[in-house]
A = this chain, B = another copy of it.
């Protein structure tokens, strides 16, 4: 187990959480992450209760290391997902995309750890009061659903570290060991990494999804649906149509029409690799993704980069 307080809280070797992304974080990725010494996370956001149950069972079969389940609060059945995981003995919960007030009493036990994802100092203080054990502070550069507050990881992390006394995990824009060292210099106890873990051998995402990330430049993600609910995706034909419509003042109804069936767009991206019309959720760190490698190799690389960045920081 690692020395720092986040590692001790979670029982993991390295202070890294694999982001519990919708559609692309099933047991296979999570299990590989947990085995590699970071916190693997099942992303329940895109799972039915039955599918979540299956994923937890597979985790149990394939790893003995700690793992988490991520539950977005925007799911109407968030409590049912949480209760299912709790009943199956899951000990670490990451709640995101909403207010954790209703679910905290359900999940809080002497032997559970609750982590909530927040986009602001106010959110962190509130989550702390609700009784969570740690917060993930997620910046504007992160992939997927994003806060309208748009505070970036670099600006947000030190303010959160100053505001709460519980462990702080920074998320958004981190894809290598330099990023991990950076957020820990800002006062975070560790990092949550999402996008980079999609481009791994074990991730279930379609090969086209991984290739999009490898090919992406720094400026190839964008926010769509600013008026509805911010979502950061790779800029493809679908995303461009959204950007154009928003630039031209489209109202909510017109935007919803362009999106059509959101479920299908996410599914088309993750499962079918539909590069033109899929919604490929990804963070700005996609520009740092240069290859698809096994999780164990990625974690070793991140730790080596961290050490290099750390030791290169000289006295001034």
Are A141 and B158 within 8 A (Cβ)?
no
In the complex, A102 has a CB within 8 A of chain B: no
Q: Which of A14, A152, A288 counts the most chain B CB atoms within 10 A?
A: A152
Give the residue of B3, B120, B310 whose beta carbon is less than 8 angstroms from that of A219: B120
Are A176 and B158 within 8 A (Cβ)?
yes
- A290 and chain B: residue at smallest CB distance: B162
- Could you tell me which residues of chain A, from 282 to 309, have a CB within 8 Å of some CB in chain B? 283-285, 287-288, 303, 306-307, 309
Are A227 and B247 within 8 A (Cβ)?
yes
Are A313 and B184 within 8 A (Cβ)?
yes
Are B307 and A310 within 8 A (Cβ)?
no
A120 to B15, CA, bound (A): 30
In the complex, A104 has a CB within 8 A of chain B: no
Chain A interface size, as a band, is 35 or more
Are B149 and A141 within 8 A (Cβ)?
no
Are B310 and A218 within 8 A (Cβ)?
no
In the complex where A121-B287, A219-B122, A315-B310 touch, is A155 in contact with B182 (Cβ < 8 A)? no
A14 to B154, CA, bound (A): 21
A178 to B283, CA, bound (A): 23
In the complex where A158-B178, A219-B120 touch, is A284 in contact with B151 (Cβ < 8 A)? yes
Give the residue of B4, B121, B313 whose beta carbon is less than 8 angstroms from that of A181: B313
A55 to chain B, nearest CB (A): 28
Are B313 and A155 within 8 A (Cβ)?
no
Are B249 and A309 within 8 A (Cβ)?
no
Which residues of chain B have C-beta atoms less than 8 A from A154's C-beta? Answer: 139, 141, 152-154, 172-174, 179, 182-183
- Could you tell me which residues of chain A, from 105 to 161, have a CB within 8 Å of some CB in chain B? 120-122, 139-141, 149-156, 158-159
Which residues of chain B have C-beta atoms less than 8 A from A227's C-beta? Answer: 247
Are A2 and B182 within 8 A (Cβ)?
no
In the complex where A310-B315, A314-B3 touch, is A155 in contact with B15 (Cβ < 8 A)? no
In the complex, A217 has a CB within 8 A of chain B: yes
In the complex, A186 has a CB within 8 A of chain B: yes
Which residues of chain B have C-beta atoms less than 8 A from A288's C-beta? Answer: 155, 158-159
- A176 and chain B: residue at smallest CB distance: B158
A-B contact pairs, 26 of them (CB 8 A): A121-B287, A141-B151, A141-B154, A150-B223, A151-B219, A151-B284, A152-B154, A152-B284, A154-B174, A154-B179, A154-B182, A154-B183, A156-B218, A156-B284, A158-B179, A159-B218, A159-B287, A178-B187, A179-B186, A184-B313, A185-B309, A249-B249, A307-B315, A307-B316, A310-B313, A310-B315
> Given contacts A158-B288, A313-B313, could you give 8 more A-B pairs where the C-beta distance is less than 8 Å?
A139-B152, A149-B219, A151-B284, A152-B173, A152-B284, A179-B186, A181-B182, A303-B316
Query: What 6 A-B pairs are tightest by C-beta distance, nearest first?
Result: A249-B249, A155-B284, A154-B173, A181-B185, A182-B182, A155-B173
